[in-house]
Amino acid sequence: MHSTASIAVVAALAGMSVAKPVEIQGKSTFRVDQVAVPKKANLNAAQHVLKAQAKYGNLNNVDPAIKQAAAQQGSVQANNEPNDREYLCPVSIGGQTLNLDFDTGSDDLWVFSTLTPSSQSQGHTKYNPSRAQRLNGETWSIKYQDQSGSSGIVYSDKVVVGGVTATNQAVEVATQVSQQFQEDTDNDGLLGLSLGSNTCQPQRCTSFFDNVKSSLSQALFATRLRRGQPGVYDFGYIDNSLYTGSISYVNTDSSYPNYWTFQAGDLSVNGNGIGSGGLAIADTGTTLMLVPNDILNAYYGQIQSAQNSGGMWIFDCNDQIPDLQVNIGGGTFTVPGSYINWVNNGDGTCSGGLQYNQGLPFSIYGDIFLKNQYVVFDQTQGYPRLGFAQGA
């Protein structure tokens, strides 16, 4: 029987499989509604760049000036978009509820645990795996922008998100946690939704979505993230009320099969082309939109006060920031200039939400881009594809 479940999110915004297949009881759809909570630890713009570079294994190529800027302590106040909110989702693991970050740029499901040192887990809800089954020999490890990492061992337990249950889900239990996650006490871990890039060793763990997709009405999920207000994740269905026009579909690129990659077409400002987008990744776990230098030079060349300062693009907060248009699959999708006018540096300048990808072979289209779109992460065709529509 087709069923629909809805849950509220308390929150801030993938060889052989180890865990057994999920037990399926009928087809379903469900929605995860986001709710903002105060964010206790704000990253500066340089730290957001470093966070993305660490995620994709590119720390060695990062401009030293950015590393220096990222090392500076202290919070920043946002100009247009509140920078004191984050979005997490309540997930039940072994009957214990933790608030996790949904991330399409990774595939690990990892959590703070009772095995995490108390000095690293204060203020977090901790998963107790004492009644779960240990997956002997399985470990995991992730590196982050501060050169530290999160790592641990793997258990199998029941994981419930919305109306869908994975009864034998691999859960990566932290025995060591990065400083950036220690400070973010609202966030108890991560639920990855990419295509196979989790760090379980020696065998890859089956991801949550891979476990539950056969129980859904359709093997897809969709996001409608928003600026300054809650968004949603829909699993198993497409909500036609959340977008305007039609959905433009593009296949993922086989050169990076573990990620939600796509080919972006021409980029333009005020109808004037500024370059071709090339290969990109749709990543809900990255805040900024990170692109090659030629795109940055052309875009920020439209803003009189824009300058590259210490490897980061900044401009006068009072300047008019133009919209950016991106062609994908024949459709045109807008990043409003107000989104790119991202964070106030406290000295009359603002840091842009559009920054350098530090030489990565792809761009990263994070929340700056995604928050104005409706995006479908689709596995219904026998191959993964992405669908983009203008958000309603």
Catalytic positions are 103, 283
3-state secondary structure of 19: coil
**What token pair was written down for 17?**
């499989």
Residue 148 and residue 178 in contact, taking contact as beta carbons nearer than 8 Å: yes
CA torsion sign for 39, 45, 46, 52 is positive
- How far is the C-alpha of 389 from the C-alpha of 334, rounded, in Å? 10
- How far is the C-alpha of 13 from the C-alpha of 35, rounded, in Å? 8
**What token pair was written down for 50?**
């470093």
- CA distances to 66, 140, 237, 312 from 177, rounded to whole Å, are 23, 12, 35, 28
What's the DSSP call for residue 227? S
- How far is the C-alpha of 355 from the C-alpha of 240, rounded, in Å? 32
Q: How many residues in the chain?
A: 392
**What token pair was written down for 376?**
């479908």
**What token pair was written down for 78?**
């946002």
- How far is the C-alpha of 222 from the C-alpha of 110, rounded, in Å? 22
**Strand 149-161 relative to strand 133-143: parallel, antiparallel, unpaired?**
antiparallel
- CA distances to 112, 126, 300 from 50, rounded to whole Å, are 23, 27, 21
Residue 134's contacts (CB-CB under 8 Å, 6 or more residues apart) are 153, 154, 155
3-state secondary structure of 117: coil
- CA distances to 100, 110, 141, 156 from 207, rounded to whole Å, are 15, 11, 16, 12
**Strand 89-93 relative to strand 354-356: parallel, antiparallel, unpaired?**
unpaired
